[in-house]
């Protein structure tokens, strides 16, 4: 068994964010964001 450094679910390990305490809600939230990060791309 590998240690997960406090990350609870595969979605959190993949993108490094926790949106909810429930792993299924976390997976649905991270999947529904379509890869949206916290920044806006330069249109040029």
Q: Which two tokens stand for residue 31?
A: 């999947």
pLDDT digits (tens, 9 = 90+) for 1-20: 455 566 567 777 777 777 77
> What pLDDT, on the 0 to 100 scale, is given for residue 20?
75
d(CA 38, CA 27): 18
What's the pTM? 0.44
Query: Among residues 34, 2, 42, 43, which one has the least CA distance to residue 15?
Result: 34
pLDDT digits (tens, 9 = 90+) for 17-35: 777 777 788 778 777 766 5
Question: Which tops the pLDDT comparison, 27 or 42?
Answer: 27
> What pLDDT, on the 0 to 100 scale, is given for residue 1?
45
């Amino acid at each position: 068994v590998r240690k997960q450094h406090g990350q609870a679910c595969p979605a959190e390990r993949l993108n490094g964010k926790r949106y909810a305490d429930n792993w299924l809600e976390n997976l649905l939230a991270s999947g529904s964001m379509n890869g949206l990060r916290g920044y806006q791309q330069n249109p040029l």
